């Protein structure tokens, strides 16, 4: 295809529709922020449903919350915060062209993300075991079976959506690690790492809200 953009210096990572590499970087980062806004709205629907049903059935929600394992949830929170740290360090490593550090920090982030998902699998398994999964098999001894099931529905919907975002993140991380091993990133090209960092932090922040709303509401006073 003929290059109509000739006359402008082509930096190796610039795509044709952009006038300059800076413009391309800005567009990518702006696009990521815009995407995260759509994510806020997406989770927002779930948070709205949660708010309404928790206001309607506070007691059932507290009882439901008490069945969750605070230690596993707390552990996972720490793991995720740690992964945010390693991700931030990875971005820094990319910006300063430290190739080895970049690979190590990305791998650490991937590892921590996987640990989180592993713990989630244990927690979900536990719910199956106790028949706390909403649906025909749901068992609840107290009289407020319906509201309790609502709590668990929201628990699964919210943590499930969150976990799905984690899975996507882990897959992208794997791709980024392969690219990093091939030395694709450096001080002149780190937008993908930076933007993925934004995504990863966003997913962490969602958890920072989910943890108290789901795990802690039964445990005060």
Query: Which residues of the shown chain bind other proteins in the complex (CB under 8 A)?
Result: 1, 4-5, 15-19, 23, 26-27, 30-31, 34-35, 37-39, 41-46, 48-49, 52-53, 56-57, 134-136, 144, 146-147, 149-150, 153-154, 157, 161
Distance (Å, whole) CA 134 – CA 151: 9
Least separation, in Å, of the C-beta of 33 and other proteins? Answer: 9
* 208 close to 55: Cβ distance less than 8 angstroms: no
Closer residue to other proteins (CB): 145 or 183: 145
Min separation Cβ 37 and other proteins, Å: 7
How is residue 146 written in tokens? 């319906």
CB closer to other proteins, 9 vs 41: 41
Closest approach, Cβ 40 to other proteins, in A, equals 8
For residues 208 and 158, the answer to whether their CB atoms sit within 8 Å is: no
* Residue number, 46 or 101, with CB nearest to other proteins: 46
- CA nearest 57: which of 168, 173, 151? 151
| Least Cβ distance, residue 60 to other proteins (angstroms) | 8
Query: For residue 187, with 0-12 CB atoms within 10 Å meaning exposed, 13-18 middle and 19 or more buried, which class applies?
Result: exposed
Choose between 43 and 196: whose C-beta lies nearer to other proteins.
43
Which helix (H) or strand (E) element contains residue 52?
helix 21-56
């Amino acid at each position: 295809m003929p290059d109509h953009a000739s006359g402008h210096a082509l930096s190796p990572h610039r795509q044709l529709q952009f006038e300059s590499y800076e413009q391309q970087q800005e567009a990518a980062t702006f696009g990521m922020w815009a995407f995260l806004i759509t994510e806020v709205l997406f989770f927002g629907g779930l948070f709205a449903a949660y708010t309404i049903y928790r206001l309607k059935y506070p007691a059932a929600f507290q009882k439901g919350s008490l069945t969750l394992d605070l230690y596993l949830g707390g552990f996972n929170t720490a793991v995720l915060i740690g992964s945010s740290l390693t991700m931030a360090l990875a971005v820094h490593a990319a910006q300063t062209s430290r190739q080895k550090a970049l690979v190590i920090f990305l791998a650490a982030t991937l590892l921590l993300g996987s640990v989180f998902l592993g713990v989630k699998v244990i927690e979900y398994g536990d719910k199956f075991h106790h028949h706390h999964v909403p649906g025909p098999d749901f068992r609840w001894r107290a009289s407020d079976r319906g509201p309790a099931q609502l709590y668990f529905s929201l628990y699964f919907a919210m943590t499930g959506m969150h976990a799905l975002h984690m899975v996507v993140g882990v897959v992208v991380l794997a791709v980024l690690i392969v690219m990093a091993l091939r030395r694709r990133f450096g001080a002149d090209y780190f937008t993908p790492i930076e933007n993925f960092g934004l995504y990863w932090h966003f997913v962490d922040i969602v958890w920072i809200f989910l943890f108290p709303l789901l795990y802690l509401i039964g445990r005060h006073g």
